[in-house]
Amino acid sequence: MDTPSKRVEMVPAKRQALILEHLRVNGAASIQELADTIGGSQSTVRRDLEHLVEKGYLERTHGGAHLLQPMRATFERETTVNAELQHAEKLAIGREAAGRLSARDSVIFDSSSTVMEAVRAAAERDLPLTVVTNSLEIADFAAGIKSWRIILPGGTVRPGYRHLAGEPGESFIKTLHADLCMTGASAVTGTLLTETSLEVASLKRAMISSARKTILLVDSSKFTAPGFCTLSDISEIDEVITDEGVSQDALSSLHAAERKVTVVRVGLAGAHRPLGSRRPL
């Protein structure tokens, strides 16, 4: 008889992220292995697996599950689960990115979960900023910061997602001349940045074009097979900030494109230290 431990009260998104992380590192796993990973019961794991299979993350196997690799080109992670995946890496990348901001900057933040961590870290610095974002989550958080002016561009909210896309926001973004853009990407493949949604890719292209400088914030899991549609080439990005899990092949592609790359080391409680900020000679 399996007995739930104290961790069984963990929110579903966190449990599901732990399951996905375990499978990413170890490949296929049994129900019992996954129950041990989340500190919950086998019945809880079965419910989480059913959800993850239904959403397109996994395929069930006899007695367990394994990740779908590569994911379908149009696959989009759920917002709540995505925020928990590689969370320590996102914290470290976000803190590093927040250090790029200066007082009175105008900055465009996209709706990626890693950019959200940069916003949280920036709030701790208490800099006066003009913030443009299509993220309802970022806007809600930033509204409580007295030294920030918040601008929402408008658009449509897709079911299940907390961000704006499409018109009139995209046309509005194109009229801006911001100091900085911080954006994520669904995938980085060589020097190609891709997204899973046409309308999200189009809005992000407008954001990149409307800023003097763009920093790409991507954890190492994003260096993978391309998504459905092209966002941009890495040549349109000024700096990439990622974590130490990035492969040497991926770094070589970025260096060959002569992009500045900052790799952060992830420690306990999301602590970080830059391993290097390099632009190839």
pLDDT-derived band of residue 47, with 50, 70 and 90 as boundaries? confident
pTM above 0.85, yes or no: no
For 171-230, how does the pLDDT look when each residue is reduced to its tens digit (9 = 90+)? Answer: 999 999 999 999 999 999 999 999 999 999 999 999 999 999 999 999 999 999 899 999
What value, to the nearest 5°, has the Cα angle with vertex 233 and ends 87 and 194? 50
Encoded tokens for 45: 């794991």
Q: What is the mean pLDDT of residues 264-272?
A: 64
pLDDT-derived band of residue 58, with 50, 70 and 90 as boundaries? confident
Q: Which residues pair with 176 in a beta bridge?
A: none
Q: What is the mean pLDDT of residues 50-58?
A: 78
Q: Which residues pair with 262 in a beta bridge?
A: 241, 277
- Pairwise CA distance, residues 12 & 26, whole Å: 21
For 155-188, how does the pLDDT look when each residue is reduced to its tens digit (9 = 90+)? Answer: 999 888 899 999 999 999 999 999 999 999 999 9
CB 152 within 8 A of CB 139: yes
